[in-house]
Amino acid sequence: MPIIPASLEFAADGTPCSSVFGDIYHSSDGALGQARHVFLAGNDLPRRWQGRERFVIVETGFGLGLNLLATWAAWRADPRRAARLHFVSCELHPFRREDLCTVHTALAAQAPEIAPLAAALQARWPALTPGLHHIHLDGERVTLSLFLGDAADGLANMRLSADAFFLDGFSPAKNPQLWSARIFHLLARLAAAEATLATWSVAGMVREGLRRAGFDCDKATGFGSKRQMLRGRYRGPGRHVTAPRHRQALVLGAGVAGSSVAERLAARGWRVDVIDAADQAGAGASGNHAGVLRPLPSLDDNRLSRLTRAGTLYALQHLAHLEELGKRVRFDPCGVLHIARDALQEDKQRAVVERHRPPAEHLRYVDREQASRIAGWPLANGGWWFPSSGWVQPPSLCRANLAAQAERIHCHFGRTVAALQHDGEHWLALDAAGSVIARAPELIVANGVGIRALPQAQALPVISARGQVSLLQATDGAAPRVVVCRQGYVSPAIDGLRCAGASFGVGDNDPAVRHADHLQNLRKLENILPGYTQGLDPAALGGRVGFRPASPDRLPMVGAIPAPTRLDAPCALDDIPRQTGLWVLSGFGSRGLVFAALMGETLATMLNGEVLPIEHDLYEAIDPARFLLRPPRTPRGED
């Protein structure tokens, strides 16, 4: 369902309001006052978060983000605050960044402490696309997980343990769906033991609905002109999240996968050892001159589309984060143009944009003439234009990931792991002589196609996909100055070289650069840019071969590695036994840059017992044990 942004309107007294719902966004007596009295004091905050490692708040309606800002400010001002604050919220009609800026600027005039927080939120405000947006704030000590879409859909697709609930939104009379029995039961399913709630509404149906869902509620003095408010506490056993006993991990592989999860764990205070047989990071399948960062939309917005969209948006945030840390990545958001193969596919691409109505800065359809202007070359068809996407140089990303947390990441380059052993407490990585390279309670296998040689990972149908990229001499500024894709891709000139390709050969283990593959890449390039290959000699091209770990269903493999290699009887995914402390980050195929940052964050949250950055159905879709439930297929080439 497309996300329809809210329109910023004001009531006669200047309070933000919605003519669609016929209601105001906060009390006319003051937004911050309401947030502090109703939601913070109503949940006994800040006292309840003091001394905690983390505190999780779930809000039903994000609106203008004023409850987040008030909570964040109170958390910052508390010297005994929880180490980490996680704020989870839902919003069906989010505001555009410029509207947030308007309201936040007026608010900051009354409460100057809000100004830097509001500016940080606005700077990281996501593209208004459906699904969960995982946003890091305040040096990653505060995280906003913002679900854009219907709150019932979002809450039903989350698995977390909430310490407090903020029930906010338009009144039950104006927006009954947000105050329904289903919403209340979904909140109860997410509640930790002794979780509290607060809301300004004391409507009878709200009190009864919460009681039926398992909350004991009582009335308290309301804020401003509102005489009463509601406070509650969950009376059930609640959800429990186990904190990690050890914050130490061993990562096999220093490519985009391994370096990403190493950085994400180290950012949480973990000590990480990274082992790679090469003498530097990003020397394997992650060693290409440039790769493409962009999503893959679909008419039905399937799991691959949702994951590549979330992965692209999170990767852009991660690149900005590394830049803020002074760890520069070779990256250019020059835009990516995905040209249709023919008129039929062009119609489908147009239909995708018309159905989902994404924000123009994320994706829009362009016709043949527009596409030709963007590419700077006459094209045969129109297609998708991703203005904020671009190219990334993978080795620079790997180096930046490891350097960002250098004090907590110890790299063992030039060391080949010959065997893995578990001594009952630690995983040991051994070399050919049987010497221990490194050990840790948690082991993450992210060594590309090398995973296929590990007996402990035999349950995983990782496929080796040979890919050859052709390198063309190019003048900086020559067309195309954007990435152009069509069953292959071509990059702008980068340091005098242009990447074109890539081949996708399953089961092909030849490491040599081949003339035949250069011819194949040139044919792809000719289909992308008609007439471009005239005069190009395949024998004069440079090139590089990499072996990419792919999965049969084109989705990543992320999570705990299953213990059995097959199931003797039908079994639920959660009931499949796993190997203790053994995890995998693989199966990215040709989309390593798209998946690496988000999947690294996903695995880090799993190990650290945090709220996942993706919806639960996507978490199940990437579970490496899923292939025990169905026979794997051989993947086709990836466009």
7 CB contacts (<8 Å, ≥6 apart)?
Answer: 18, 19, 20
- What's the confidence (pLDDT) of residue 34? 97
Q: Which two tokens stand for residue 23?
A: 């209601």
Angle formed by the axes of helices 303-324 and 394-404, nearest 10°: 60
The string of pLDDT tens digits covering residues 256-275 is 999 999 999 999 999 999 99
- What's the confidence (pLDDT) of residue 568? 87
| CA pair distance 364, 337, nearest whole angstrom | 10
- What's the confidence (pLDDT) of residue 458? 96
209 CB contacts (<8 Å, ≥6 apart)?
Answer: 179, 180, 181, 184
| CA pair distance 389, 375, nearest whole angstrom | 14
For residues 63 and 34, is the Cβ–Cβ distance under 8 A? Answer: no
User: Shortest CA distance to 285 belongs to which of 259, 250, 312?
Assistant: 259
- What's the confidence (pLDDT) of residue 108? 92
In this structure, is the dihedral angle defined by the CA atoms of residues 357, 359, 360 and 365, taken in order, positive or negative? Answer: negative
Q: What are the DSSP calls for 22-83, one per residue? A: TEESS-TT-HHHHIIIIIIGGGTTTGGGTT-SEEEEEES--TTSHHHHHHHHHHHH-TT--S
Angle formed by the axes of helices 97-110 and 66-77, nearest 10°: 50
For residues 312 and 293, is the Cβ–Cβ distance under 8 A? Answer: yes
The string of pLDDT tens digits covering residues 217-260 is 999 999 999 999 999 999 999 999 888 888 999 999 999 999 99
- What's the confidence (pLDDT) of residue 634? 62
For residues 596 and 588, is the Cβ–Cβ distance under 8 A? Answer: yes
The shares of helix, strand and coil residues in the chain, as percent rounded to the nearest 5, are 30, 25, 40
Residue 297, classified by CB atoms within 10 Å of its CB into exposed (0-12), middle (13-18) or buried (19+), is buried
| CA pair distance 286, 258, nearest whole angstrom | 10
Domains of the chain: 9-234 (3.40.50.150), 248-284+395-462+552-628 (3.50.50.60), 336-387 (no CATH), 465-543 (3.30.9.10)
In this structure, is the dihedral angle defined by the CA atoms of residues 294, 297, 302 and 306, taken in order, positive or negative? Answer: positive
For residues 563 and 536, is the Cβ–Cβ distance under 8 A? Answer: no
Beta strands in 502-618 (DSSP E): 505-506, 542-550, 557-562, 578-586
For residue 538, the number of C-alpha atoms closer than 13 Å in the C-beta half-sphere is: 15
- What's the confidence (pLDDT) of residue 476? 86
Q: Which residues of the chain have pLDDT under 70?
A: 631-639
User: Shortest CA distance to 294 belongs to which of 126, 483, 494, 479?
Assistant: 483
| CA pair distance 374, 380, nearest whole angstrom | 13
- Per-residue exposure over 492-529, b if at least 16 CB sit within 10 Å of its own CB, e if not: bbbeeebbbbbbbbeebeeeebbeebbebbbebbebbb
| CA pair distance 128, 95, nearest whole angstrom | 9
